[in-house]
Amino acid sequence: MDKADFRFSTPLRVRWSEADPQGIVFNGHYLNFADVGVTEYYRALRAAAGVKPGEGLDGSEFFAARTLLDYKAPALFDDLLDIHLRVSRFGNSSMSFLVGIYREDSLLVSGEIVYVHADQQTRRPTPIPEAFKAAVRAFEHCLPAESGAAIQG
């Protein structure tokens, strides 16, 4: 996983409550770190594309369907981490984020989060709006792969 493949990153400082008595980050917190990254990615995407929160989604939302994290080295209390994310794939109703959590140039955790675009009321998958895909394509410098298959959750 190459940092140069990510246009977006956000810093995050490890807090005391996220570490065990030895000062090592508990593994479950890395998913929270990735989630902070996703939130900040959307904020940066909105700023770059001029899209307001919820605009163009028309009663739909993205729901997490699958997560995978590979632990390579531990983060420690008070480390300054960089959470890198990029949309790596679009399906018809799903998309995948690649995640890289770094301390300086050391990759600590890599992973993938798959989201399904769905109606907020029924939670049934719906196609991702083309305007959203276009905004992501314009934002990223590594274009997402595209396929028509949805992730079933």
Question: What domains are there in the chain, each with its CATH number?
Answer: 3-146 (3.10.129.10)
Torsion angle, CA of 6/41/113/25, rounded to 10 degrees? Answer: 90
User: Given this model, what pLDDT does residue 33 score?
Assistant: 98
- The pTM for the full model equals 0.90
How far apart (Å, rounded) are the C-alpha atoms in residues 29 and 8? 20
Which residue in 49, 61, 68, 58 sits closest to 134, CA to CA? Answer: 49
How high is the pLDDT of residue 153?
A: 45
Model pLDDT, residue 57: 56
Tell me how far apart the alpha carbons of residues 135 and 153 are, in angstroms, rounded to a whole number: 25
Residues in the chain, total: 153
> Which regions of the chain are under pLDDT 70?
51-59, 148-153
